[in-house]
């Protein structure tokens, strides 16, 4: 079993960071920082399949696990990503037990699921045994879903009965949007939904995650204190943008002060 999957199953603390830009040098750089995984996002970014594969190659070179968020609960999208051999996959916007079951079946070969066979990079381009991949390594994939709506929270007691989901990850902004308060991430109603979901997940011994662009101590502490063990925080484009603005402000301050 992979280290990341084992940590998920044991509900251990896990730290991740988001990758949204196209250059694989970003994953090469971040994979050497020490995160447990890189969250490579293909839902809200311009990252296509070829760019994704380059990110996966770079992350593996640095020895860091990868979770790829696909744009939708689609078996074809899932299949193409899984053939590239990421450590795991994330399905967004899962709202019902039926949707969760479909997502999991998209990851599993018959008779357990509906995944078509044709791994390429996942079997090192034919250098590994296909049967070993089917019987062992395909089961080591981390299968994650996102809880992003009030409907998902309502149905969570049924969703958690699925034995193949390794982690449940909140998307707080979309969750707040589902109750008409988009981006009110820390609002009372959103917080109540998150706490309700966390209670259900903890009762069932599930690994719980959150995806946030923020990387300050206060925000990370907030999610940790709520009982979340998987925290994916910060993203490459914000690191660049915020440091660029800070640097420009520092230059202008010195230049304008005449010092």
Which residues are marked as active site? Answer: 44
Question: Residue 96 CA to chain centroid, in angstroms?
Answer: 19
Contact 91, 146 (CB under 8 A): yes
Question: Residue 4 CA to chain centroid, in angstroms?
Answer: 12
Give the torsion sign (CA, 85, 13, 30, 28): negative
Determine the 3-state secondary structure of 193 from DSSP.
helix
The token pair that represents 88 in the structure block: 């795991």
* Listed residue (140, 144, 141) closest to 91, CA to CA: 144
Angle (CA) 32-34-35 rounded to 5° is: 115
Give the torsion sign (CA, 48, 210, 102, 123): positive
Angle (CA) 72-74-76 rounded to 5° is: 130
């Amino acid at each position: 079993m992979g280290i990341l999957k084992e940590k998920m199953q044991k509900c251990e603390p896990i730290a991740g960071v988001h990758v949204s830009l196209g250059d694989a040098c970003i994953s090469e750089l971040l994979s050497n920082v020490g995160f447990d995984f890189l969250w490579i996002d293909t839902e809200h970014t311009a990252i296509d399949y070829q760019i994704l594969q380059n990110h996966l190659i770079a992350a593996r070179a640095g020895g860091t696990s990868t979770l790829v968020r696909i744009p939708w609960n689609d078996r074809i999208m899932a299949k193409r990503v899984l053939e590239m051999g990421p450590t795991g996959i994330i399905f967004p916007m899962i709202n019902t037990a039926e949707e969760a079951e479909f997502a999991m079946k998209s990851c599993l070969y018959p008779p357990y699921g509906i995944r078509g066979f044709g791994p390429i990079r996942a079997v090192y381009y034919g250098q590994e045994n296909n049967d070993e991949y089917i019987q062992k390594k395909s089961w080591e994939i981390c299968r994650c879903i996102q809880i992003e709506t009030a409907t998902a929270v309502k149905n969570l007691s049924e969703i958690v009965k699925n034995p193949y989901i390794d982690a449940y990850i909140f998307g707080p902004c979309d969750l707040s949007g589902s109750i008409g308060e988009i981006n009110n991430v820390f609002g009372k109603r959103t917080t109540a939904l998150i706490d309700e979901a966390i209670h259900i997940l903890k009762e069932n011994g599930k690994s719980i995650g959150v995806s946030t662009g923020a990387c300050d101590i206060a925000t990370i502490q907030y999610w940790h204190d709520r009982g979340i063990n998987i925290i994916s925080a910060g993203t490459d484009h914000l690191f660049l943008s915020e440091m660029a603005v800070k640097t420009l402000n520092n230059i202008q301050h010195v230049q304008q002060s005449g010092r």
